[in-house]
């Protein structure tokens, strides 16, 4: 079965400046429209923190660049990324770091850039989720690259082509590619396209600590089938 291995991409970033796809490709990652994520009530956030609930948010970049014209000047849109990460909800609440910027070493920034190329997105992810956790910025973004490096995604997300996909098939691929993942570990988010078809915009992958977990505050609005947009 074809797959996209995020670890291959993250490791290559340490060795090469080249990042090719059809322009550039995140050889396997992405998550949510504009730094989204369901807003949790304080009690829900506290419960999530206690059980170690974490949500890696992956964006389908071509779809969002087409659906949201205001994003057209973002680096991932201009350079043709297939997938990008928009954040990691650690389960400690939201919006704790107003005005704070994440400080990363040049080497770590180089790696993080490959899956989170936009400076504003990185800053917003830190301010919205990372600063609420007990982690430093370096540790927070290391968590993101660790999760991304281990996650495998269906190859259809990274070919540059567009596909109509059955939700059951897509989820089945995800669970087969990732040991320990169940269908409840994945939440799919879609938006309605110009032809009234559902277009996949975000994939949320949920964890309990270092293991796959069950997603809470599920959106799951894609229906039985949806379009994976490759930008063509």
Structure confidence by residue, pLDDT tens digits, 76-90: 998 889 999 999 999
Is the pLDDT confidence value at 149 over 50? yes
**Closest CA relative to residue 37, chosen from 229, 219, 160, 178:** 219
Give the mean pLDDT of 28-40: 30
Percentage of the residues of the chain whose pLDDT score is greater than 90: 58
Distance from C-alpha of 188 to C-alpha of 199, rounded to nearest angstrom: 10
User: Residue 53: its pLDDT value, please?
Assistant: 85
Average pLDDT, the chain: 79
**Closest CA relative to residue 90, chosen from 154, 149, 136:** 136
User: Residue 232: its pLDDT value, please?
Assistant: 56
User: Residue 94: its pLDDT value, please?
Assistant: 85
User: Residue 160: its pLDDT value, please?
Assistant: 84
DSSP assigned state of 22: S
pTM confidence score: 0.79
Taking only the tens place, the pLDDT of each residue in 87-126 is 999 998 888 877 778 999 999 999 999 999 999 999 999 9
């Amino acid at each position: 079965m074809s797959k996209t291995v995020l670890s291959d991409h993250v490791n290559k970033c340490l060795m090469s400046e080249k990042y090719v796809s059809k322009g550039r490709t995140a050889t396997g990652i992405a998550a949510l429209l504009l730094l989204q994520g369901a807003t949790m009530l304080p009690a829900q956030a506290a419960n999530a923190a206690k059980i170690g609930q974490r949500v890696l948010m992956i964006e389908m970049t071509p779809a969002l660049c087409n659906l949201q014209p205001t994003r057209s000047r973002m680096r991932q849109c201009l350079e043709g990324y297939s997938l990008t990460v928009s954040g990691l909800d650690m389960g400690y609440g939201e919006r704790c770091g107003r005005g704070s910027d994440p400080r990363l070493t040049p080497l770590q920034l180089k790696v993080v850039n490959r899956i989170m190329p936009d400076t504003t997105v990185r800053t917003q992810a830190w301010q919205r989720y990372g600063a609420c956790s007990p982690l430093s910025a370096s540790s927070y973004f290391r968590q993101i690259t660790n999760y991304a490096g281990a996650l495998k995604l269906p190859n259809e997300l990274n070919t540059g082509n567009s596909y109509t996909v059955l939700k059951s098939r897509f989820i089945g691929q995800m669970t087969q590619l990732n040991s320990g993942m169940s269908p409840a570990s994945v939440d799919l988010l879609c938006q309605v396209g110009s032809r009234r078809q559902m277009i996949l915009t975000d994939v949320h992958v949920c964890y309990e600590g270092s293991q796959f977990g069950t997603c809470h505050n599920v959106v799951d609005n894609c229906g039985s089938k949806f379009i994976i947009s490759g930008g063509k």
